[in-house]
Amino acid sequence: MAMIFCNTLFSSPPLLSPLTSTQTKPSRSSKNLIARAQSQSMEDHIHDDPLRQKFMEFPYVTATRKQLMVDIISTVEDHFQPLLLPCSLPPDVRNFKNPNGSAEASIYIRSGEKSSPIDFFIGSWVHGKIPTGVTLNITTVSAFLKSSTNAPNFTLEVIQTSPTSLILILDLPHRTDLVLNPDYIKEYYQDTNLDSYRQSLLKLPGVKPYVSPSLFVRCVVSPAASVLKIDVEEEEQLEEIWRDHVGPAAKEILGVWFERCAREDDEEKRVMGEEERMELERRDKSFRLKNIEDDLDFQFPILFGEEVSSRVLHVIKEAFGVL
């Protein structure tokens, strides 16, 4: 699954979801209290959800990697409460296997309320053996903003092919033409010193840049993206890099995204014309469609078979709005 990237091995990227929104009209004085009570009630229900609990197990990765994924997802949920709707995917899409049980995946998507700056966020994990004999484990957390702002999205994706080797994609992917908008580079990448995380990780033993074979992937990552291959000799080395370097970097970059990109007041601050908004919507839709066509349409039938893939991909495409 994955969100944005990989076309590695035999591919990897996205899964997202739609949005429905609800809206109440409490008095101004009681609005915050009502929202807080609704949020707490919703979260109590969500945390009792057995399919969410199954998803949050991340059963095929190490405890260190699982902890980071759980931390990132929980932080996103906590940050945007009460502005997120519960996951509404069908049970047989939230968790599914191939007929012989050799491949399994789980998808978790929550959409934003009408007043939320977030369109939706997705977490996913995929485990299975590809035709080359390689066992593939992909974990993804990505968050997408609405077209009321062209601020970058957030993505963290990991594609692991052995206990000592993985590919990392950690980025705030841009949503505009950077050549035409140099101030965008300054605001989101230069002033935030985002490239320093990539530079620091590259100084570690066993870490080097990863060049995706997909030209499309290479044009959608930001100039400051940490698209890296980590290849070490011992599992403990990989765990140390993940625990001491990748984890802290991911959490700090998520913090930058909260502060600079996903602010609730951005819709008022960033006034976009109708034509600009429509162009952004076209760009976002084109990006999502291309990810499905290049990756999931090819990858899922190989891992899960035609029947399961057809069912799951139909729901995903409906969620993307690209049916």
**Domain for residue 147, yes or no?**
yes
Task: Report DSSP state, residue 259.
Answer: I
Is 66 buried (19+), middle (13-18) or exposed (0-12) by CB count in 10 A?
Answer: middle
In 3-state terms, what secondary structure has residue 31?
helix
**Domain for residue 17, yes or no?**
no
Given a contact cutoff of 8 angstroms between Cβ atoms, the answer to whether 58 and 65 are in contact is yes
Is the four-CA dihedral 256, 262, 265, 271 of positive or negative sign?
positive
What pLDDT score was predicted for residue 227? Answer: 97
Q: Is 235 left (phi over 0), alpha (psi -120 to 50) or beta?
A: alpha
Distance from C-alpha of 224 to C-alpha of 208, rounded to nearest angstrom: 15
∠ CA 250-243-173, nearest 5°, is 20
What pLDDT score was predicted for residue 266? Answer: 56
Is the four-CA dihedral 251, 154, 148, 80 of positive or negative sign?
negative
Given a contact cutoff of 8 angstroms between Cβ atoms, the answer to whether 139 and 69 are in contact is yes
Given a contact cutoff of 8 angstroms between Cβ atoms, the answer to whether 140 and 124 are in contact is yes
**Domain for residue 195, yes or no?**
yes
Q: What is the spatial order of strands in the sheet that 104-111 belongs to?
A: 95-97, 104-111, 118-129, 135-145, 154-162, 165-171, 226-231, 207-209
Pick from 313, 247, 256: nearest CA to 79 = 256
**Domain for residue 106, yes or no?**
yes
Q: What is the CATH number of the domain that holds 85?
A: 3.40.1500.20
CA 134 to chain centre: 24
In 3-state terms, what secondary structure has residue 82?
coil
Cα-atom radius of gyration of the chain, to the nearest Å?
19
> What are 196's two structure tokens?
């320093």
What pLDDT score was predicted for residue 316? Answer: 80
Q: Which helix (H) or strand (E) holds 305?
A: helix 297-320
Residue 120, strand partner residues: 111, 144
Domains held by the chain: number: 1
How many angstroms separate the Cα of 234 from the Cα of each of 63, 134, 164? 16, 18, 6
**Residue spans of beta strands (DSSP E) within 130-266:** 135-145, 154-162, 165-171, 207-209, 226-231
Distance from C-alpha of 153 to C-alpha of 233, rounded to nearest angstrom: 34
Domain limits at 101?
50-263
Query: pLDDT tens digits for the chain (323 residues)?
Result: 444 444 544 443 333 333 233 333 334 333 443 344 455 555 555 667 899 999 999 999 999 999 999 999 999 999 998 999 999 899 999 999 998 889 999 999 999 998 899 998 999 999 998 888 889 999 999 999 998 899 999 999 999 999 999 999 999 999 999 999 999 999 999 999 999 999 999 999 999 999 998 888 899 999 999 999 999 999 999 999 999 999 999 999 999 999 999 987 655 556 678 888 899 999 998 888 887 777 777 788 989 999 999 999 888 887 766 77
Task: Report DSSP state, residue 57.
Answer: T
